[in-house]
Amino acid sequence: MDAQVPGTAPGTAAAPPAGSHPGAAGSPGPDAAGPERTWSLQREWSRAFLVMLTALLIGAVVTIVGVRGLMNQVEETSRRLQVELEKVEVLRSALDAHEQLGHQLLANAPADRSAFVRQQDEISRLFGETAAVLPGDTASREKLDAARQSWQEALAAHGLWGSQVQSLQGSHLDQTPAFAASSAAIRMQLADIRRYSLAEMDDGLAHSAELERFLFIGRSALFVAALGATAYFRRRMVKDIIRPVESMHHGVRKLQAGNYNHRIEVFRRDELGELAEAFNGMALAVRNSHEALTHRATHDPLTGLANRAALMEHLTASFGAGSTRRNRNEGLLFIDIDDFKEVNDSLGHERGDALLVQLAARLVACVRSDDMVARLGGDEFAIVVMDDDAGSVTAGIAERIHEALRAPFFVGEDRLTVTASMGAVQRRLDTSDAAELLRQADFAMYLAKHGGKARLQLFDAEGYDHMTYRAALKRDLAAAAPEGQLRLEYQPIVDLTSGAILGVEALVRWQHPTLGLLAPSEFIPIAEETGDIDAVGCWVLDTASRQAAGWRKALPRCEHLWVSVNLSTIQLPNPRNLAAIKRILADPAAQADKVVLEVTETALAGSTDGGIAALKTLKETGVRVAIDDFGTGYSSLSSLAVLPADILKIDRSFLGRQASEAQSAAMLEGILGLARMLSLEVVAEGVEDRRQLELLRALDCHMGQGYFLARPAPAEMIVALLAAGAPLQPGPAELERAVDS
């Protein structure tokens, strides 16, 4: 019963042509006049019920009439019998009385002879009446006639009939026994009549029983006919109603399950047949609109190419269960039109669209029939290249595209030449999914764009890994401060003559949940990019200042210990963040006069406007400012005079090995002289060996910081160092003093 529409296998239905109304194709529509109905369920079943009703009526009438007849018969028989018996009874008593009188006459007893004759006439009349009630041609009638005959003959024989009576003389007692015998015989005959009548009644009742049998047979025949009719109508009901309804139900279930090609079989052209046809029309309309919707959902309306969703579905399928060798080796080309925005801006969106349509056609002309060209949106296109083992097919297609774009486009009166930047990626075993493949191709295209446009860039896994690593850090950074993943290490800043710890520099680390402990160089630049530096910076300032205040209070000889905190200049221009920093420093718990804010020279030089003003307002809290990495920024010496600095931290490159000792000594000496003139304190960074330490001492540099003096360490180790109070790398004078005491 799975009727398929001829010529359309499921899933291969062609897309409806543009502009066609989904319901227009083939559906009968509600008001379309279909062919005349040839059968009518209503008419048929009305007739069937009429036939049944008539049969019932006939049955009822037959029963009523039959029973009525039967009753009449019985009544009639019993009434007649009663009349007969009454008449016979009257006749009998009259005969008895007459016999009595007859005996008196024969015995010559005094009797009224004329009364006897009247009696005789009366009895004759009674015989007549009785004969009238008895049906003719019956045995009882014969008997009656015979009795009448016998009675007349007996009377006549004894001289008692009619006029004979008057002439009867004397006693005839000798005749009395004969007379009595003949009277007895007549009585017997009358008794016979009674018997016959009863027998007749039996006959009548027997007739009724026969009638009843006929009635029974008639009723049974009617019942059999009703049974036959019921079986017949049941079969018709199954064939004409139940089956079509079931088939319709089946069709509805199929449609619900998404089989839009299933059609209901039309059994007959009756009401249900019309319903089935209407359903089929509806199913066709649903299929058409489903196809139109699917087409709309998977295609770009402007170019008719597959859209992003369709491309992703295609790629996802090749990663999933439907994966074959051909699509495991697929390549993906990401295409972005160069400077398309300018076309749109100068010619308008309509012409921009017209260009995209022509462009799409050229792209399609550059690929093989089973490669997929999709428009991802705007001026971005992608091509899935099937079965490209080494990437040569993808590169070939990219080359053909470059070639195809060389010819100018004509949009209205305008003649345009466009180029495209393309990124190509080859699917590898470790490519996790479709989205990643697309991201990789996009990344390659991005590099092509930044590498000068109008070119193809092959995917570079290392660069991509770096980018994704950075992207992951970017994503996780926001949670670092609120979720307590930041740590602080402190590096002592040392008095180079005595070896005493004067201050500590707070250096931040990030305990990343999966990547481990990260150095600031790995995430501070990203935090500056994302703006998370504000939160990180405030956390460092708050934590370091409070912790150092605690040490000052708790540890002996630490009451002047200061703490250096690095500040990114990104933190300064934002008024809200500046206020937050100010709030932290204004809190007495922070002890701002023992806090040094380190700002790099380069950063300050780059943002002279907000940065310097902001630092000046911060200094109102009593905080000191150090210029970090001094000497690397090439800032003019004149600008140094306007910076609100208290300390110069000479960059470690001045102590580095690349410069000759004499050269670095000269530079250091210059900086130290300059600082002295500007009344700035100096900290030399990067003291890594004794030789450097000695040089600084010889140049009369008072403070230093470096691995040779102390490495950055967690708070507990710094506390231990401070508590011990031992000088770090003490000078010869200090050593002597220590030995003396």
Q: Could you list the residues that contact Ca ion (CB under 5 A)?
A: 566, 598, 628-629, 685
Residue type, 612: I
Query: Do residues 178 and 192 lie in contact, with contact meaning Cβ atoms separated by under 8 Å?
Result: no
Residue ranges in 455-496 assigned as alpha helix (H): 461-480
Residue 373: other Cβ atoms inside 10 A: 22
Q: Which does 681 bind (CB under 5 to 8 A by kind): Ca ion, ligand C2E, none?
A: none
Strands 516-518 and 501-512: antiparallel
Return the range that interacts with ligand C2E (CB under 6 A); candidates 202-210, 268-276, 294-302, 517-525: 517-525
Residue type, 526: I
Rounded least distance, CB 567 to ligand C2E, Å:
6
Return the range that interacts with ligand C2E (CB under 6 A); candidates 322-330, 336-344, 564-572, 579-587: 564-572
Rounded least distance, CB 404 to ligand C2E, Å:
51
- Residue selected from 8, 150, 568, 574 as contacting ligand C2E according to rule CB under 6 A: 568
Rounded least distance, CB 565 to ligand C2E, Å:
6
Interaction of residue 691 with ligand C2E, rule CB under 6 A: no
Interaction of residue 611 with ligand C2E, rule CB under 6 A: no
Strands 420-426 and 331-337: antiparallel
Rounded least distance, CB 504 to Ca ion, Å:
11
Distance CA 685, CA 656 (A): 10
Cβ contacts of 617 within 8 Å, gap of 6 or more: 578, 582
Q: Which residue's CB is nearer to Ca ion, number 103 or number 649? A: 649
Distance CA 514, CA 520 (A): 16
Distance CA 496, CA 741 (A): 20
Q: Which does 396 bind (CB under 5 to 8 A by kind): ligand C2E, Ca ion, none?
A: none
Binding mask 619-658 for ligand C2E (x = CB under 6 A): ---------xx----------------------x------
In the three-class reduction of DSSP (H, G, I as helix; E, B as strand; rest coil), residue 301 is classed as coil
Distance CA 130, CA 127 (A): 5
Residue 623 tokens, joined: 């905080």
Return the range that interacts with ligand C2E (CB under 6 A); candidates 270-278, 572-580, 660-668, 684-692: 684-692
Return the range that interacts with ligand C2E (CB under 6 A); candidates 355-363, 427-435, 493-501, 704-712: 704-712
Q: Which residue's CB is nearer to Ca ion, number 283 or number 567? A: 567
Return the range that interacts with ligand C2E (CB under 6 A); candidates 171-179, 186-194, 636-644, 700-708: 700-708
How many chain residues interact with ligand C2E (CB under 6 A)? 23
Q: Which residue's CB is nearer to ligand C2E, number 391 or number 706? A: 706
Residue type, 455: R
Return the range that interacts with ligand C2E (CB under 6 A); candidates 308-316, 377-385, 456-464, 563-571: 563-571
Residue type, 648: L
Q: Which does 491 bind (CB under 5 to 8 A by kind): Ca ion, ligand C2E, none?
A: ligand C2E
Q: Which does 436 bind (CB under 5 to 8 A by kind): ligand C2E, Ca ion, none?
A: none
Q: Which of these, 539, 435, 445, 558, lies nearest to 492 by C-alpha position?
A: 558
Q: Which residue's CB is nearer to Ca ion, number 94 or number 667? A: 667
Interaction of residue 692 with ligand C2E, rule CB under 6 A: no
Q: Which of these, 697, 683, 581, 677, lies nearest to 628 by C-alpha position?
A: 683
Rounded least distance, CB 496 to ligand C2E, Å:
14
- Residue selected from 271, 380, 688, 734 as contacting ligand C2E according to rule CB under 6 A: 688
Strand partners, 704: 494, 684
Distance CA 258, CA 230 (A): 40
- Residue selected from 56, 57, 65, 519 as contacting ligand C2E according to rule CB under 6 A: 519
Q: Which does 686 bind (CB under 5 to 8 A by kind): Ca ion, ligand C2E, none?
A: ligand C2E
Rounded least distance, CB 675 to ligand C2E, Å:
18
**What H or E segment, with its residue span, contains residue 510?**
strand 501-512
Binding mask 199-228 for ligand C2E (x = CB under 6 A): ------------------------------
Helix axes 113-133, 41-106, angle to 10 degrees: 160
Interaction of residue 232 with ligand C2E, rule CB under 6 A: no
Query: Do residues 285 and 263 lie in contact, with contact meaning Cβ atoms separated by under 8 Å?
Result: no
Residue ranges in 134-175 assigned as alpha helix (H): 139-157, 164-167
Rounded least distance, CB 628 to ligand C2E, Å:
5
Q: Which does 540 bind (CB under 5 to 8 A by kind): ligand C2E, Ca ion, none?
A: ligand C2E
Rounded least distance, CB 505 to Ca ion, Å:
6
Q: Which of these, 600, 656, 604, lies nearest to 629 by C-alpha position?
A: 600
Return the range that interacts with ligand C2E (CB under 6 A); candidates 101-109, 254-262, 294-302, 681-689: 681-689
Residue 656 tokens, joined: 């580095």
Q: Which residue's CB is nearer to ligand C2E, number 244 or number 712? A: 712
Residue 217: other Cβ atoms inside 10 A: 10
- Residue selected from 508, 549, 625, 719 as contacting ligand C2E according to rule CB under 6 A: 508
Q: Which of these, 299, 265, 259, 306, lies nearest to 283 by C-alpha position?
A: 259
Interaction of residue 492 with ligand C2E, rule CB under 6 A: no
The rounded radius of gyration (Å) of the Cα atoms in the chain is 66
Q: Which residue's CB is nearer to ligand C2E, number 279 or number 630? A: 630
Rounded least distance, CB 629 to Ca ion, Å:
4
Rounded least distance, CB 611 to ligand C2E, Å:
13
Q: Which does 520 bind (CB under 5 to 8 A by kind): Ca ion, ligand C2E, none?
A: ligand C2E
Rounded least distance, CB 652 to ligand C2E, Å:
6
Interaction of residue 712 with ligand C2E, rule CB under 6 A: yes
SS (H, E, C) 254-292: HHHCCCCCEECCCCCCCHHHHHHHHHHHHHHHHHHHHHH
Cα–Cα–Cα angle for 424, 428, 433, nearest 5°? 90
Strands 703-705 and 713-714: unpaired
**What H or E segment, with its residue span, contains residue 411?**
strand 409-411
Interaction of residue 707 with ligand C2E, rule CB under 6 A: yes
Is the dihedral angle over the CA atoms 100, 102, 104, 109 positive or is it negative?
Answer: positive
Helix axes 608-619, 575-586, angle to 10 degrees: 20
DSSP character string of 306-337: B-HHHHHHHHHHHHTTT--HHHHT-EEEEEEE
Return the range that interacts with ligand C2E (CB under 6 A); candidates 43-51, 447-455, 518-526, 693-701: 518-526
In the three-class reduction of DSSP (H, G, I as helix; E, B as strand; rest coil), residue 23 is classed as coil
Interaction of residue 491 with ligand C2E, rule CB under 6 A: yes
- Residue selected from 352, 391, 499, 537 as contacting ligand C2E according to rule CB under 6 A: 537
Residue 136: other Cβ atoms inside 10 A: 8
Q: Which residue's CB is nearer to Ca ion, number 547 or number 566? A: 566
Summarize as ranges the residues that interact with ligand C2E (CB under 6 A).
491, 507-508, 519-521, 524, 537, 540, 566-568, 598, 628-629, 652, 686-688, 705-707, 712
